[in-house]
């Protein structure tokens, strides 16, 4: 009888503990989700007021005037992110290929992995200061789309390197041995067997890196600066959605503030689409 009572008390304690931990988990989930949805809903409500065709086709108005749009900032965002992607993807993928397939976990590989982890934790403004010193103040490019793309590429590199490295490591070793066993060279095995097997995970890492870069403001203030005109070239200052929101949200004119809300909504949609794309490729197996 005593043993049964003790067993029952232990079961009651475990049940209470389980319910308590479930309640704590739910509370933590709500504490995370509620602010997120509150921000999204508030941005959506404010942004939809100015969402129209002119928003995509026209330039921002002069201070105090109504109407206009953010067409130049939309195009500028895609240009700067495209430049960053063109720079970061080859360097990131090739670095990950070296780490996973050719380094043999030597001292250089460990140093690169350490530097990648360190770079992933730096504030984004540091990347902007680096690009400013290397490209803007040095007179190499000045305030331009190229300088902005380089700053965003620095932020994209750690995500691409880490995700690609992990994707290559989870490809079964048997696939490599099979390719080598039929006479393929090492580079042929990597290029035609390993990389295609890990392609979905690599694309996931690239889309996540793009999502992070698209929403950055501080690096672009130091590099791409801003322009109220249509993009004139890669070596000229260029408008982006993030910097436009930063500039227009702080002015006392209602028309500019409304455009800032609309641009914020577009930026949220852009990040959401890239994350959905990443989730789509995550569902596919890497091999």
Residue 11: its pLDDT value, please? Answer: 64
Averaged pLDDT, 199-217: 87
pLDDT of 41 > 60? The answer is: yes
Averaged pLDDT, 157-186: 87
Spatial separation of the C-alpha atoms in residues 163 and 22, rounded to whole Å: 32
Residue 75: its pLDDT value, please? Answer: 94
pTM of the model: 0.84
- Residue corresponding to tokens 């691409």: 160
pLDDT of 6 > 60? The answer is: no
pLDDT of 284 > 70? The answer is: no
Averaged pLDDT, 2-24: 70
Residue 7: its pLDDT value, please? Answer: 54
Spatial separation of the C-alpha atoms in residues 164 and 100, rounded to whole Å: 9
Averaged pLDDT, 147-176: 91
> How many CA within 13 A on the CB side of residue 99?
24
How far, rounded to the nearest angstrom, does the alpha carbon of residue 111 sit from its chain's CA centroid? Answer: 24
Binned at pLDDT 50, 70 and 90, residue 64 comes out as confident
The torsion angles phi and psi of 204, rounded to 5 degrees, stand at -60, -45
Which tens digit of pLDDT belongs to each residue from 210-236?
988 888 889 999 999 898 899 988 999
Which tens digit of pLDDT belongs to each residue from 81-137?
999 999 999 999 999 999 888 887 788 888 888 888 888 888 889 999 999 999 999
Spatial separation of the C-alpha atoms in residues 252 and 260, rounded to whole Å: 12
207's tokens? 């889309």
């Amino acid at each position: 009888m005593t043993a049964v009572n003790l067993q029952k008390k232990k079961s009651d304690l475990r049940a209470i503990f389980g319910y308590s931990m479930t309640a704590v988990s739910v509370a933590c989930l709500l504490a995370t989700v509620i602010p997120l949805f509150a921000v999204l809903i508030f941005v959506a409500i404010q942004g939809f007021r100015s969402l129209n065709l002119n928003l995509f086709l026209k330039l921002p108005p002069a201070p105090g005037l109504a109407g206009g749009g953010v067409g130049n900032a939309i195009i500028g965002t895609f240009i700067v992110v495209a430049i960053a992607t063109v720079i970061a993807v080859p360097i990131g993928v090739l670095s990950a290929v070296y780490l996973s397939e050719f380094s043999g976990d030597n001292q250089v590989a460990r140093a690169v992995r350490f530097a990648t982890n360190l770079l992933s934790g730096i504030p984004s403004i540091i990347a902007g200061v680096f690009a400013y010193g290397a490209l803007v103040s040095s007179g190499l490019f000045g305030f331009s789309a190229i300088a902005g793309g380089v700053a965003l590429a620095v932020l994209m590199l750690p995500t691409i390197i880490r995700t690609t490295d992990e994707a290559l490591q989870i490809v079964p070793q048997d696939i490599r041995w099979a390719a080598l066993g039929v006479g393929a060279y090492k580079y042929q095995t990597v290029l035609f067997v390993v990389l295609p097997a890990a392609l979905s995970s690599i694309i996931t890492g690239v889309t996540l890196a793009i999502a992070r870069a698209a929403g950055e403001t501080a690096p672009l203030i130091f590099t791409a600066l801003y322009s109220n005109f249509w993009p004139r070239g890669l070596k000229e200052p260029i408008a982006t959605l993030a910097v436009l929101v930063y500039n227009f949200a702080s002015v006392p004119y209602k028309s500019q503030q409304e455009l800032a809300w609309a641009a914020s909504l577009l930026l949220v949609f852009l990040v959401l689409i890239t994350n959905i794309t990443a989730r789509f490729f995550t569902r596919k197996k890497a091999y």
